[in-house]
Amino acid sequence: MSSSISGIGLAGFGTVGSGLWQILQEHGGMISDRSQGSAALEIRRIAVRDLAKKREIEAPAELFTSDLMELVNDPAVDIVVELIGGTEAAFDLVAAALRAGKPVVTGNKALLAERGAELFALSKQEQTAIHFEAAVAGGIPIIKAVQESLIANRIETIAGIINGTSNYILQRMTEAGLAYSEALKEAKDLGYAEADETLDVNGWDAAHKTILLASLAHGFLVNYKEVYVRGIEKVTPLDIKFASDLGYVVKLLSLVIERDDGKIEIRTQPSFLSKTHILASVHGVFNAVALKGDHLGDSLFYGRGAGQGPTASSVVSDLVEAARSDRSDRGFLPYRESGSLVEINDTVTSYYVRFSVTDQPGVIANIATILAEHQIGISGTHSPVDANNPDADFLEMVFLLHKCSFGRLKIALTEVEKLDCLTARPVVFRIETL
């Protein structure tokens, strides 16, 4: 079957960009054959910051430029692939490509989560699509699943482990008892963490992906400023050990939950998860997303959430879609003007709360009294003795609390902190029952 070739303008030739080049060199013919000739792909321009940089994977020198806008202006380029990251230069490139009528493929979750409203509006105005399968969970085809395979379902819950760096760090803290700083260094030495690990460990990498999933599942663009995000930087081996003693693991969980009143709850934070839950067995740098649809029921998507091959594979999937289709709605167009998010203080879960206290009579009673005054029930306590220091005049006391609103818990803990028996601020983890 004869086919026309879609010319690609590639912005960025780092890990994923060079992986895309490699895949198209190895499997370009197979991809064209599988698409019945409708997706013959050829990279015709590559924009990079430093033309002199030595690269592990080589491409013809004449393809390279340091001017991003050449990808837009070159008539031989039909589709623009944005893999440079960030939100400024990437925004300018994507916006210019859309105005030029060139479909865009991007793996930039931060760009879409923070400036998606502008770009999707421009996509609609120019009738030119944005494709972004690679922006969430690497090689896992979760975007197409939510947009297409589950189109007949009201998606009630999404629960994901979608940052491999944090997952690896927490696993090593769990298995080897490493401190956070030690586990982070190990992740960097193995290449699992970037030199600047901030977005991975502070929760925002996962949160950006969660915002995109929530927008797709519920049809309106979520304002990232309204989303509750906490990272793993303050997780300690002590709390991980207590979690294990109580039958839990600590995971950086991202949640999207539709409540009965139609409001959407969106959170990313380290949480306690039962060891028996399927997400508890997601290890290392792997990702997993558990979905519940009203007709489908429960479903799990699992695989490598980052890396050259998996992410580049998702980029190719989007390129094939862009080459095959002349429909402008193949990326994402909101189908609801707005939706309501649940304010974080109104969210309800059970809790683990650890109090560092002096060992004196009445401590438990004093804390329990304050909790009772705020109608917060106690399901159990845990106060192990330090075998290495049994005569210490302070101890760690854990309370497991029944479900209550986060706002109510915060008010109660503010009063508990006034007790003279406390030696540090209480440590709080949600206990998720998915």
The pairing of strands 394-405 and 378-382 is antiparallel
- DSSP letter for 134, please: G
Neighbours of 228 (CB within 10 A): 19
**Tokens encoding 356:** 């560092």
> How far, in Å, CA of 265 to CA of 230, rounded?
15
Burial of 419 (0-12, 13-18, 19+ CB in 10 A): middle
Q: Which residues pair with 397 in a beta bridge?
A: 355
- DSSP letter for 341, please: B
**Tokens encoding 49:** 């910051």
Contact 110, 87 (CB under 8 A): yes
Burial of 65 (0-12, 13-18, 19+ CB in 10 A): middle
Q: Indicate the angle between helix axes 406-416 and 363-373, nearest 10 degrees.
A: 140
Q: What are phi and psi of 91, to 5 degrees?
A: -60, -45
Q: What are phi and psi of 132, to 5 degrees?
A: -150, 40
Residue in 209, 234, 263, 275 annotated catalytic: 209
209 assigned to active site: yes
Closest C-alpha to 422, from 434, 413, 410: 413
Annotated active-site positions, please?
Answer: 209
